[in-house]
Amino acid sequence: QNTYLVGGELKEWKGANAEVYSTISSTKEYKPTLLGTVPDLTADEAIEALNASLKAYDQGQGLWPTMKVEGRIAAMEKFVVQMKTKREEIVKLLMWEIGKSLPDSQKEFDRTVEYIYDTIEDYKQMDRDSAKFEKNSGVHAHIRRGPLGVVLCLGPYNYPLNETFALLIPALIMGNTAIFKPAKHGVLLLSPLLEAFRDSFPAGVVNIIYGRGRVLATPIMKTGKVDVLALIGNSKSANAIQANHPQKNRLRLVLGLEAKNPGIVLPDADLDLAINECIAGATSFNGQRCTALKILYVHEHIVDEFNKRFAAKVDALKFGNPWEDGVKLTPLPEPGKPAYIQELIDDATAKGAKVINKKGGETTENYIFPAVLYPVSKDSRVFDEEQFGPVTPIVSFKNIQEPLDDMAASNYGQQVSVFGSEVKTLAPLIDTLVNLVCRVNLNSAAQRGPDVYPFTGRKDSAVATLSVHDALRSFSIRTFVAAKDTEYNNA
Ligand code: G3H
């Protein structure tokens, strides 16, 4: 693949291409193998993409930002119809590029299609909401939602389709124009959609470029002409990228960042349920989800029993290629990840923890089997760091105030899962937890979906809210026409 999309044209890249590796292997050795290449664009192409976005936006006077609701909906519907024809190809690329299991890859695709249709429906509703209101003055305020301008959109590797589109689709439908650069992994799967983007939207409304973040995002931001930075990733990159903007007050941020979501297991919890949900929360997609459970607090009265059963269940999870039946654990797309996870294990064990499951830490070239660590001391790296991979630290607690204090001291505040059955204890605890994070999962694993739920976080976990409903607001501004004139009011 050597094309990219700028100004409504699929441009051919004649320079050097970047190699894209597959995480999976037919030989069972799980060695990364070359899957394809994508353009490794330079600052010049980045600026060309920015200029195309600026031209299409034309300071709010372009065809797209001034288009009627029906026109933007028609464009989005045209896009999604074409996208649906690419399901098989994209699902395969999700498996090959990022090692996501077949059912999860299919779910990612289908969930994204549903997300687009739900966004369209919400957008129609939004227009009706903004009809008009009146106070005693006789002046009518005709409320509208207007676009913000040019959006620089950077997506993550773990949900290269769904989370990318959770930014791009609402940004576009609200009348903004966008430059999108995918992550390093999960990049080929956008190729089947380039034509659909080109054919559905006016030239320059959506521009898709490939290459290194620093090379492309830095010059774009330095121009000061980006109105919104939309990014799902880590706060370090978000800070570095936004720092290049010369007038930060003009920049709106829509950011989905890190999390260290705790699972808290109370002494009266249904242990089977708690263990099953903690397994799903901590290990699905090898823990490479910002919503994963990344630390477990288990009450001291039940911790031994919990650990024994939790560790045995983790060891029973099947590792293999993403398309194999019943596979729960798959190779990791980031080549440095097994070594990083091993560092966390070594650090925690040097500080007193043990790997309590038999297979924990077993490695192949691009995989490391999930390690369950107990008891993890608070000065261990894995206690604070977002591991984003297959290792689960467990700590025991005597008093519920201990995990609450840790959550209050944490840099993150996305979600928590709490397991218990005594409603009397849970109700006041939940009232406290919602002030520490943004979503409390009661007797269930942490997760983002359904996509109509608000997805956000406190502290370094997020800026702005994503969801079918909220993202439309995050990517727009409320404007209005104040009119006394009866002709306008009745129109
Ligand atoms: O990486 C963060 C994703 O938004 C997780 O989404 O909870 O649906 O797996 P999920």
What contacts 323, CB < 8 A, 6 or more positions away?
Answer: 95, 101, 102
Burial 176-196 (b: 16+ CB within 10 A, else e): bbbbbbbbbbbbbbbbbbbeb
State ipTM: 0.96
In angstroms, what is the C-alpha Rg of the chain? 24
Pocket residue to mutate for ligand 1, from 112, 260, 291, most atoms within 8 A of Cβ: 291
Helix, strand or coil, per DSSP, at residue 446? coil
CA of 40 to the centre of ligand 1 (A): 28
CB atoms within 10 A of CB 85: 10
Ligand 1 and 185: CB distance under 6 A: no
HSE on the CB side for 95, CA within 13 Å? Answer: 21
Which amino acid is located at 372 in the chain?
V
Atom from ligand 1 closest to the CA of residue 163: 4
HSE on the CB side for 33, CA within 13 Å? Answer: 10
Which amino acid is located at 12 in the chain?
E
CB atoms within 10 A of CB 294: 30
Ligand 1 and 288: CB distance under 6 A: no
CA of 431 to the centre of ligand 1 (A): 24
Six token digits for residue 469:
């409903």
Nearest to 451 by CA among 51, 59, 28, 163: 163
Ligand 1 and 258: CB distance under 6 A: no
CA of 243 to the centre of ligand 1 (A): 27
Pocket residue to mutate for ligand 1, from 109, 288, 289, most atoms within 8 A of Cβ: 289
Q: What is the pTM of this model?
A: 0.96
Neighbour-count burial of 65, counting CB atoms closer than 10 A to its CB (0-12 exposed, 13-18 middle, 19+ buried): buried
CA of 159 to the centre of ligand 1 (A): 7
Q: How far is it, in rounded angstroms, from Cα 392 to Cα 294?
A: 6
CA of 458 to the centre of ligand 1 (A): 16
Q: How far is it, in rounded angstroms, from Cα 330 to Cα 322?
A: 6
* Eight-state DSSP code of residue 318: P
Q: In a structure prediction context, what are the per-residue pLDDT tens digits for the chain, which is 491 residues long?
A: 789 999 999 999 988 888 888 877 666 666 778 899 999 999 999 999 999 999 999 999 999 999 999 999 999 999 999 999 999 999 999 999 999 999 999 999 999 999 999 999 999 988 555 555 656 667 777 788 899 999 999 999 999 999 999 999 999 999 999 999 999 999 999 999 999 999 999 999 999 999 999 999 999 999 999 999 999 999 999 999 999 999 999 999 999 999 999 999 999 999 999 999 999 999 999 999 999 999 999 999 999 999 999 999 999 999 999 999 999 999 999 999 999 999 999 999 999 999 999 999 999 878 999 999 999 999 999 999 999 999 999 999 999 999 999 999 999 999 999 999 988 889 999 999 999 999 999 999 999 999 999 999 999 999 999 999 999 999 999 888 888 866 676 66
Whether the upstream peptide bond of residue 375 has omega within 30° of 0, thus cis, is: yes
Supply the DSSP string of 393-427, one letter for each residue.
EEEEESSTHHHHHHHHHSSEESEEEEE---HHHHH
What angle do helix axes 87-98 and 102-129 make, rounded to 10 degrees?
120
Ligand 1 and 159: CB distance under 6 A: yes
Six token digits for residue 16:
């050097």
What contacts 399, CB < 8 A, 6 or more positions away?
Answer: none
